């Protein structure tokens, strides 16, 4: 900061009228180097040392496949996660022993069993026994929560390198309630609402906020269209790690070795006429159908984070910068509105405004809630889920957050200077929402370390960085 201010003082001296003194020591107080107060960039001034940024150097995912019918239906959960973890090591050439922790978001797998499967996956991937691992469950945001937990631990100084991941095999672990329900739940409406089927909460959102059946069907068509186009154009190739596995014939038991490398739930030719034929599945007179709901899927994702200074030292390219994270609570009966509350909270915490965000990855749990959030926040549809969303690609609950991070950051990299800030968000069962803000990895440096997109510079004395006003 002192060096930057000194550079400002030198520049300001050159800008002063010639009739004034040239002595740097006698600069008039009306034009002096100071911390930025320049309009909307003021909130984005330095909050930490540049080298202490938490950055993402790699983010990958498996293909997402249809539960019980897709390419990963005969694959053990640990065999879905292991290749993705291994890719982080192989593609960055980091020493796996340097990883301080691996945090895996997972929802449906039994706690101790899933934790053991994740530990096994780490061993299969080549991590030594000295590297710890744990799971985290915040339902549909678990993968994003894992990334946020690792980022927070790095910021706190617990370790310098960590992995935030997500895993779900909805073939192996279908959604079901185990055991009996506490009768006390009948005494409290909010507690009862926590037990509502997710599809009913979708119907509640559609009815309360007047999201029509036709709007929902159109959103699903668009999701499939964009995902199909992205697949055909190879836009997912940089983020997908092929999974070697097998397909078992259910009739004969014969096993066929295969390598799964594409998402298999996308329907390129789906039309409004096709979706109009589907009946509501959660409510007789409702509007939510199988076609306007996220797909039940198997998959995994993983994100490698570290301090910027360490990434630079290792010569690793920086894919993105983790800026902020927010989790919020909303009424359980309309849990789908979560992103409409979480996104503004995360964006505000980053010192930004919604219009500063160039891309959004918002999980399409249901078309109803996805459309509500888009309308409520008045987001440009051209910025949201540009390569399709969960209605087409799939929603393996615990893996979705990590998948969305990988998809967002690779797309931001492709778009370059036209895309600086991105958001990942999703609704969460029982009434919550989560969101995180990311910045494209090469969009700032240690000299110009402030948001200048659209910034207003009121006077030279308000400039933090010598180049913020260029």
Radius of gyration for the alpha carbons in the chain, expressed in angstroms and rounded = 24
Cα(330)–Cα(197) distance, integer angstroms: 16
Active-site residue identified among 36, 118, 404, 427:
427
What does each C-alpha distance from 164 to 60, 134, 147, 315, 419 come to in angstroms? Answer: 11, 10, 4, 21, 24
Residue 468 among the catalytic residues: no
The number of angstroms, rounded, from the C-alpha of 97 to the middle of its chain's C-alpha atoms is: 26
* Residue 459: exposure state from Cβ atoms within 10 A (0-12, 13-18, ≥19): exposed
SS3 state of residue 397: helix
Active-site residue identified among 395, 410, 465, 468:
395
Residue 395 among the catalytic residues: yes
Neighbours of 424 (CB within 10 A): 32
- CB-based contact 468:457 (threshold 8 Å): yes
Q: How many residues appear in the chain?
A: 470
Active-site residue identified among 140, 373, 444, 465:
140
Residue 373 among the catalytic residues: no
CA-based end-to-end distance of the chain = 19
For 136-162, give one letter per residue: b (16+ CB within 10 A) or e: bbbbbbbbbbbbbbbbebbeeeebbbb
76 token code pair: 């053990």
Task: Tell me the β-bridge partners of 329.
Answer: 432
Residues with catalytic function? 140, 395, 427
């Amino acid at each position: 900061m002192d060096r930057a201010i000194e550079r400002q003082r030198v520049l300001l001296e050159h800008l002063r009228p010639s009739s004034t003194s040239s002595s740097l020591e006698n600069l008039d107080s009306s034009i002096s180097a100071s911390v930025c107060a320049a309009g909307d960039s003021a909130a984005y001034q330095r909050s930490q040392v540049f080298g202490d940024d938490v950055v993402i150097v790699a983010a990958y995912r498996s293909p997402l496949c249809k539960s019980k019918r897709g390419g990963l239906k005969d694959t053990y959960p640990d065999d879905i996660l292991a290749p993705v973890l291994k890719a982080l090591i192989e593609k960055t050439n980091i020493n796996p022993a340097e990883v301080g922790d691996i945090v895996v978001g997972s929802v449906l797998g039994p706690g101790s069993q899933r934790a053991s499967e994740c530990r096994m996956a780490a061993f299969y991937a080549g991590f030594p026994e000295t590297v710890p691992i744990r799971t985290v469950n915040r339902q549909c945001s678990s993968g994003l929560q894992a990334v946020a937990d690792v980022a927070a631990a790095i910021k706190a100084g617990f370790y310098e390198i960590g992995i935030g991941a997500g895993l779900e095999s909805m073939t192996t672990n279908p959604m079901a309630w185990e055991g009996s329900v506490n009768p006390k739940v009948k005494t409290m409406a909010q507690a009862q609402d926590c037990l509502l089927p997710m599809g009913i909460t979708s119907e509640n959102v559609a009815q309360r906020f007047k999201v029509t059946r036709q709007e929902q069907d159109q959103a699903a068509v668009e999701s499939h269209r964009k995902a199909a186009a992205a697949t055909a154009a190879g836009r997912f190739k940089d983020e997908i790690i092929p999974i070697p596995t097998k397909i078992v014939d259910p009739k004969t038991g014969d096993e066929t070795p295969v390598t799964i490398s594409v998402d298999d739930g996308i329907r390129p030719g789906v039309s409004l006429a096709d979706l109009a034929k589907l009946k509501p599945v959660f409510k007789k007179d409702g509007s939510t159908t199988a076609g306007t709901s996220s797909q039940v899927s198997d998959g995994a994702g993983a994100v490698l984070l570290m301090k910027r200074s360490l990434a630079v030292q290792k010569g690793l390219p920086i894919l993105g910068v983790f800026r902020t994270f927010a989790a919020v609570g909303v009424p359980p009966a309309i849990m789908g509105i979560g992103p409409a509350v979480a996104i503004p909270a995360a964006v505000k915490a980053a010192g930004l405004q919604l219009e500063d965000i160039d891309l959004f990855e918002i999980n399409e749990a249901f078309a109803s809630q996805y459309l509500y959030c888009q309308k409520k926040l008045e987001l440009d549809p051209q910025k949201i889920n540009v390569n399709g969303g969960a209605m087409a690609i799939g929603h393996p609950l615990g893996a979705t957050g990590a998948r969305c991070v990988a998809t967002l950051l690779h797309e931001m990299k492709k778009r370059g200077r036209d895309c600086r800030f991105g958001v990942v968000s999703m609704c969460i069962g029982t009434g919550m929402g989560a969101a995180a803000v990311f910045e494209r990895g090469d969009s700032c440096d240690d000299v110009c370390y402030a948001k200048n997109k659209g910034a207003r510079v009121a006077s030279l004395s308000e400039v933090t960085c010598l180049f913020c006003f260029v």
